[in-house]
Amino acid sequence: MAVTKIACADDLAALAKETLDHVWTDKRFSDLIGAILMANHVADWHFQVDLKRKFEKAEKQAMNDAYPEWETIRQLANGTKHCKLISAVQPKQEDLQWEHDDFWGSPGHVGGDGIDWFVDHDGKQRSAAVLIRTFLEKFDNSSARPT
């Protein structure tokens, strides 16, 4: 069901998933960037709206502890939001290779073009789309969310 309003973190996460699905079908960089920005802000919505708490250093650490992918997503989002020509983490378009850790889950398999955007995460080249999908799937399991 399409998201028509954002009232909580789950709504934003669902919208991020909806946008991310287009990366597999349409291969547009704009969809990837949109999914990155929304996935990053799921944390703000979770703490500020759902839990009615401030989103400060301890809460960010709780997100990092629960979702290791989130820190890379946060850096990607901040590198887009703030004018940084060279940020610590940037997605790079590459042809899909066997050596990529996300070879089988990559959107590069769809359409036969082998194209995906990769980012360094914990010393490995990971598909940015797979990293976001992993975070959103973990967040969907509400029992694992920071409180």
Q: In the chain, where are the structural domains located?
A: 9-144
Radius of gyration of the chain, Cα coordinates, nearest whole angstrom: 15
Structure confidence by residue, pLDDT tens digits, 112-135: 777 788 898 988 889 999 999 999
- In the prediction, which pLDDT does 144 show? 85
- Average of per-residue pLDDT across 57-75: 95
3-state secondary structure the chain: CCCCCCCCHHHHHHHHHHHHHHHHHCCCHHHHHHHHHHHHHHHHHHHHHHCCCCCCHHHHHHHHHHCHHHHHHHHHHHHHHCCCCCCCCCCEEEECCCCCCCCCCCHHHHHHCCEEEEEEECCEEEEHHHHHHHHHHHHHCHHHCCC
Cα torsion 58, 46, 30, 81: sign: negative
Higher pLDDT, 95 or 81: 95
What's residue 2's pLDDT?
81
* Neighbouring C-beta atoms of residue 91, cutoff 10 Å: 21
Percentage of residues in the chain having pLDDT higher than 90: 56
State residue 97's pLDDT score. 80
> Residue 39's closest CA among 6, 13, 72?
13
Q: What was the pLDDT predicted at 57?
A: 96
pLDDT for 27 equals 84
32-44 pLDDT, tens per residue?
999 999 999 999 9
What are the C-alpha distances in Å from 71 to residues 49, 63, 68, 88, 121? 20, 8, 6, 12, 9
The per-residue pLDDT for 21 is 93
* Dihedrals phi, psi of 74, to nearest 5 degrees: -60, -45
Checking if the pLDDT of 90 tops 60, the result is yes
